[in-house]
Amino acid sequence: MMMRRRTTLLAGCTALVLALGATACGGDEPVAAGGGDKSLDGQTVTVAGVWSGSEQKNFQKVLDAFTEKTGAKTQFVSTGDNVSTVVGSKIEGGNAPDVVMVPQAGVLEQFAENGWLKPLDAEVKTTVGDNFADVWQNYGTVDGTLYGLYFKAAHKSTVWYSPEALEQAGVTPPKTYDAMLKDGRTISDSGLAAFSVAGQDGWTLTDWFENVYLSQAGPEKYDALAAHEIKWTDPTVVEALTTLGELFKDKQLIAGGQKGALNTDFPGSVEKVFGPEAEAAMVYEGDFVAGVAKDQFGKSIGTDANFFPFPPVGDGKAPVVSGGDAAVVLKDGKNGKAGMALLEYLATPEAAAVWAETGGFLSPNSKLDPSSYGDDVTRATAESLIAAGDSVRFDMSDQAPAAFGGTKGAGEWKILQDFLRDPADPAKTAAELEKAAAKAYGN
């Protein structure tokens, strides 16, 4: 069955979101997830998600706080990038997790349409309606039923840089895309590559494309492409690929050139800028770069590592692309009650504060005290996301069917990796993207 696409604007971002109070889970006794009554002693919640490294470590602190409050033990299973494949296999094998942290709206829809998800119970739904901005309710809802609770938001229009590297090259954070490339060549002349690109992870390349496309083609075209209402062979897509190709083919700009980029994963791309042996001055990715720079490489955010907004392309406006991770409860999990209690806890400002203090995290919880964030840069990132208002768009690949926008070695991820390897023919790449999209969307 073709998945229903959503293109609703993120108009609610001026009031980013939510705080669930302590509510009852289903028809069982109230579970005071934040009350510390140890009501779930002896139970275990299995949680699956894509996070690894510092993100997994920081999320485990949240799970440990849940254990402290409720007595329920937790077990985290890292799925890698292929969330839908791994979870599907576990369900078929009778070993379904209780909760999945879903990183893509399209995958959430797929799970719902497969009949895998429990709707959020009546009490939680009521609280969500009271406290969620429409945008987050919309992306957690499939065909009128609320399944997903967004715990972690992402600001995917941030370019992270080493202040020392830019200072040594005599450049300042650029205000336009062309200036960014020009400054990058100046940085390269000073002996350090301009950008570290995580080409080994196809999802990072979709983020590059989305920022260029949103700025260059505009929000209406972005919405239409996200819904596959226009084809990927549209001239605006070819234009955006041409713009992106100028970066990909310039060996002066990318650490290790195209081959080096294709052999660099996301943590490695951050290491090339903020690690002990710096190879590049800048790395484009979301606000979560800060967590890796801080936790793995000991950087002080705001001093050793900082960001500037992804700059506007041509005559367009500066893009703001957002994303998020939604917690869902699986029907086939062995402990649905405790799973729903975990969602209840994740919706509290207390849970958000646990991760906020460590960095690399933005909460969509409007009740979270901004002082919970450990540095001014993260607070500024959150303010940037909120201030963008109606111009924000949800990550396009995250809205797509998983076969196109969310599967390692397939669809958009692989095609853009191939384009990074050889960016000589943007029109050919656009045609390949359209072929894969048409198959995945069913139209």
pLDDT of amino acid 38: 65
pLDDT of amino acid 172: 97
Q: Residues 126-168: pLDDT tens digits?
A: 766 666 577 777 789 999 999 999 889 889 999 999 999 999 9
pLDDT of amino acid 37: 59
pLDDT over 70 at 15, yes or no: no
Choose the weakest-confidence range: 193-207, 237-251, 368-382.
368-382
pLDDT of amino acid 313: 98
β-sheet bridge partners, residue 382 = none
pLDDT bracket for residue 378 (50, 70, 90): confident
Sign of the dihedral through C-alpha 239, 241, 243, 245: negative
pLDDT of amino acid 371: 87
pLDDT bracket for residue 11 (50, 70, 90): very low
Show the CA angle centred on residue 260, arms to residues 258 and 264, nearest 5°. Answer: 115
pLDDT over 80 at 387, yes or no: no
Give which of 420, 428, 438 is closest to 206, Cα–Cα.
420
**What element of type H or E holds 272?**
helix 266-274
Domains of the chain and any CATH numbers = 11-155+323-389 (3.40.190.10), 158-319+409-441 (3.40.190.10)
pLDDT of amino acid 36: 53
How large a percentage of the chain has pLDDT more than 70?
89
How large a percentage of the chain has pLDDT more than 90?
65
Higher pLDDT, 342 or 127: 342
pLDDT of amino acid 299: 94
Q: Which residues, 6 or more positions from 301, have their beta carbon under 8 angstroms from its beta carbon?
A: 290, 293, 294, 359, 374, 375, 377, 378
Q: Can you tell me the distance from the alpha carbon of 154 to that of 49, in angstroms, rounded to the nearest whole number?
A: 16
pLDDT of amino acid 366: 74
pLDDT of amino acid 114: 94
Q: Residues 103-127: pLDDT tens digits?
A: 888 889 889 999 999 999 877 777 6
pLDDT over 60 at 20, yes or no: no
pLDDT of amino acid 56: 94
What is the number of other CB atoms lying within 10 angstroms of the CB of residue 424? 9
pLDDT over 90 at 398, yes or no: no
Q: Can you tell me the distance from the alpha carbon of 317 to that of 176, in angstroms, rounded to the nearest whole number?
A: 10
Q: Can you tell me whether residue 419 is helix, strand or coil?
A: helix
pLDDT of amino acid 136: 75
pLDDT over 50 at 101, yes or no: yes
Higher pLDDT, 81 or 67: 67
Higher pLDDT, 99 or 288: 99
pLDDT of amino acid 433: 98
Half-sphere exposure of 184 (CA within 13 A, CB side): 27
Whether 159 and 284 have beta carbons less than 8 Å apart is answered as yes
pLDDT bracket for residue 308 (50, 70, 90): very high
Q: Can you tell me the distance from the alpha carbon of 440 to that of 433, in angstroms, rounded to the nearest whole number?
A: 11
Q: Residues 217-227: pLDDT tens digits?
A: 999 999 999 99
Higher pLDDT, 215 or 388: 215
pLDDT of amino acid 374: 84
Q: Residues 164-193: pLDDT tens digits?
A: 999 999 999 999 999 999 999 999 999 999
Q: Can you tell me the distance from the alpha carbon of 208 to that of 239, in angstroms, rounded to the nearest whole number?
A: 14
